[in-house]
Structure formats: structure tokens, C-alpha cells
């Protein structure tokens, strides 16, 4: 077997990115595909990952090789569910080396370039993870939509839909946010129910930008962003109550909310030194270095 390529994958509830490198770490290309969170199912996750990988080879103007000539590291939403993670590993289509961890941990490793720190992720979902100087790691949040992921995009969208439902019922006063949600989902109960019956976490997350768009003109939208900030701050505090470690905010929602975070937390925020695909590649290289 000849190892020719290293691939780092960042897979979440909204999309998948695959970064293709040669064995020296030189980036050759990148490909994107649909969501590969394991909540969408293992076959669907592999389908999107392989599509992203094939597109990375196409972007590099290279033919897709045999998978046994490639090593793949992946950070995926849903890997913290042991049965899903085991099923994903068992479905490996043939990569010579496969390293899989949570998307939060690969984001953490990439953000701090393999050094101790904390990452706060809020995109479609929400989670925080810490890697302490003593080598221990711990996670807060990441329980998945709809039971958890407070403060993330799908949660914001769900809360916005609840507000719109209340205005349809007459339980709440219509405002710019509820009107915008109704335009997207339906102005009457039947239309709203049909939309909700079809919607998944990605669909709800697609409504989150409406909350940001109307926060300056709608007190209800501003209140939802305040609630999101409180939820995200609680994740960080649970992992680092001494408030000592550097923090990187990752994901579209966390980045847009960074200036709204409490000042003590905001002062600890740093620019990321890399992303989740970099983190997946870092873990992959560590695994390969351990091989005899």
C-alpha cells in the first residue's frame, strides 16, 4: 500500500468540506457537499463526504484514486453518539487510515493549532469543548436538535417559528420577525403545520438569519439573540469557570454574536489559527505518526 493523499473533513448539519493534501501537508484542493452530520444517517454522511472528497480531487485537477491510497480524518457532528460513531467507522469504504472525532474537537484542535484552549461553536447547532493543559478534554452542549443545541442556528429558527405560531394564534403581537417567518413558512395554520412537518434542523437553521436581520427593529428578535448569548456563555463557563483559557468562536452564529458576548468572555476570544479541517488533518497526522 502506498499512501498518497491526506484528507481532512469538516462535516456538520449544514454542509461538508473536504481538504485534500499531499503527504507533506501541501494543500492541493478543496471540495464541498451537503450535510454529513450523523443525525442524517451513516449512509447519507458517507455519501456527502465522498462527494466532497471527489470534488476536492476535481478542484486539484487530479483523478480520484483508490481509497486505500488515502488517509482520512473527519470531524463530524453526531460522533459523540457511540453507536452512530461505530456504525460510521464500520462503513469505511476503504480508506487506509480513518480517524473520526467530533466536529467540535477538530475545530478546537485547528483553532488553537494543537495547543490547549476552548472552542465555542454555534452554527446549525451549538457546543463547546475544552482541551486543558493537562491533556484532559471535556464537552458541554452538543446534545443535538431539537432536544439541545441551545443558542445555535436551528434553535434560533425554532424559537422564531414558535413566535410566528403564537402570532397566528393571537397569543403574541405580530412584528417584523414573525412576519418574515410567516413569509418563509406560511401565513396560516395549515401552511405552517405543513412546513413544520417537513422541516429538519437545516431548515430551521435557514431561518436564523431572519432573527439577526430584524434585531435592530424588533424587540422579540433582539430578545432571542440575548437568549442565545446567555446559552452560549453558559457552555463556556461550564468548561472553564476560572476563565483562564483562550477561546475561539466558530460557526456563523457564534461569529455574529461575538460582539454581544459578556465583556469578560469577549476579552478572552482569539482569532483562530486554523479551522476544523486543519484540526482533522492534525489528528490524522498524529495517528499516522503512531503507526509502526
pLDDT score, position 78: 85
**99 near 124, Cβ under 8 Å?**
no
Give strand ranges (E) for the chain.
Answer: 5-11, 16-22, 27-33, 70-76, 97-102, 117-122, 126-131, 137-141, 247-250
Evaluate whether 5-113+274-290 and 153-226 have a shared fold.
Answer: yes
Residue 70: pLDDT band with limits 50, 70, 90: very high
Q: What is the pTM of this model?
A: 0.75
Say if residue 292's pLDDT is above 90: no
Quick check: helix, strand or coil at residue 111?
A: helix
Q: Where are the domains of the chain?
A: 5-113+274-290, 153-226
Residue of 124, 134, 88 whose CA lies nearest to 104: 124
State pLDDT tens for residues 190-202. 999 999 999 998 8
Edge to edge, the sheet with strand 27-33 lists 27-33, 16-22, 5-11, 70-76, 97-102
Q: Give CA separation, 237 vs 105, 200, 245, in Å.
A: 17, 29, 11
Q: How many residues does the chain have?
A: 292
Tell how far CA 208 is from the center of its chain: 14
Residue of 171, 254, 161 whose CA lies nearest to 211: 161
Residue of 63, 65, 71 whose CA lies nearest to 92: 71
Q: Does domain 5-113+274-290 have CATH number 3.30.420.40?
A: yes
Average pLDDT for 201-229: 96
Domain 153-226 CATH class label: alpha beta
State pLDDT tens for residues 250-289. 889 999 999 999 999 999 999 999 999 999 999 999 999 9
Amino acid at each position: 500500500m502506498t499512501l498518497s493523499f491526506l484528507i481532512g473533513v469538516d462535516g456538520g448539519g449544514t454542509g461538508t468540506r473536504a481538504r485534500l493534501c499531499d503527504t507533506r501537508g501541501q494543500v492541493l484542493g478543496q471540495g464541498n457537499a451537503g450535510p454529513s452530520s450523523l443525525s442524517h444517517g451513516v449512509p447519507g454522511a458517507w455519501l456527502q463526504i465522498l462527494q466532497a472528497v471527489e470534488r476536492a480531487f476535481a478542484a486539484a485537477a487530479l483523478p480520484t484514486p483508490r481509497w486505500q491510497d488515502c488517509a482520512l480524518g473527519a470531524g463530524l457532528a453526531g460522533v459523540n453518539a457511540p453507536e452512530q460513531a461505530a456504525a460510521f467507522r464500520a462503513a469505511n469504504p476503504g480508506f487506509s487510515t480513518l480517524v473520526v472525532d467530533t466536529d467540535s474537537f477538530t475545530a478546537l484542535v485547528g483553532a488553537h493549532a494543537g495547543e490547549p484552549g476552548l472552542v465555542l461553536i454555534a452554527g446549525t447547532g451549538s457546543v463547546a469543548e475544552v482541551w486543558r493543559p493537562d491533556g484532559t478534554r471535556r464537552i458541554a452542549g452538543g446534545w443535538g436538535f431539537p432536544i439541545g443545541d441551545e443558542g445555535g442556528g436551528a434553535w434560533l429558527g425554532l424559537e422564531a417559528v414558535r413566535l410566528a405560531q403564537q402570532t397566528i394564534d393571537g397569543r403574541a403581537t405580530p412584528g417584523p420577525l414573525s412576519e418574515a417567518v410567516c413569509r418563509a413558512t406560511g401565513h396560516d395554520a395549515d401552511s405552517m403545520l405543513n412546513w413544520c412537518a417537513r422541516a429538519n434542523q437545516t431548515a430551521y437553521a435557514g431561518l436564523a438569519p431572519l432573527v439577526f436581520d430584524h434585531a435592530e427593529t424588533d424587540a422579540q428578535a433582539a430578545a432571542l439573540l440575548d437568549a442565545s448569548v446567555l446559552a452560549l456563555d453558559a457552555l463556556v463557563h461550564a468548561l472553564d469557570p476560572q476563565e483562564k483559557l483562550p477561546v475561539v468562536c466558530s460557526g456563523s452564529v457564534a461569529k455574529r454574536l461575538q460582539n454581544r458576548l459578556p465583556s469578560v468572555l469577549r476579552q478572552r476570544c482569539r482569532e483562530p489559527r486554523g479551522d476544523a479541517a486543519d484540526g482533522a488533518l492534525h489528528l490524522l497526522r498524529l495517528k499516522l505518526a503512531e503507526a509502526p
